Amino acid sequence: MSSSFLDIVQRLRRICTICEDTLLSLMVISMVGLGALQIIQRNFFGTGFIWTDELLRLMVLWIAMAGAVAASRDDRHIVIDLVSRFVKERYALSIRAILDLFTISVCALLAWHTARFVYGEWEYQATLLDGLPAWPFELVIPLAFAIISYRYTLFFFVHARQAIDMWRTA
């Protein structure tokens, strides 16, 4: 591949990283601000916005999904893998590729079924936040799982290639 193409890919990756990190930071700051505002309003004025609690629950969902996508960016998801510590490197790389396939399968399945859920919310005109349609707020779920599945597909190819190269040299 040409170096200019790789430069463009690297630049796009950096832009996506900055956007993901900025989105996460803004959501956390907004949650803290809204939570503090709600506490102040309830304790000092005896009132509060009706929609704040529901919005904070939605923001927790969005932060969880955005955090999962950000963790998948650098292959930093939680891994419970005792076997690879006790086997040779070539076996560990093969196991890693198999785990990537498992992650792809689970995330793709979750993306599909959560997309069906969001479609059902659209179809039945479910609402949130005092009458707003629910489905746009819930789209983050299938999108996040689709992005994670995509990223682990890329990781699978890298890990599989490394495993194949390791087996060839052994």
pLDDT digits (tens, 9 = 90+) for 84-125: 677 777 788 888 889 899 999 999 999 999 999 999 999 999
Of 134, 106, 108, the residue nearest 121 (C-alpha):
134
Report the 10 Å Cβ neighbour count for 28.
14
Structure tokens at 39: 């506490």
What amino acid is encoded at 167 in this protein?
Answer: W
Residue 65 and residue 58: Cα distance in Å, rounded?
A: 11
Helices of type H across the chain:
3-40, 52-73, 89-123, 135-138, 140-169
Low-confidence residues in the chain, pLDDT < 50: none
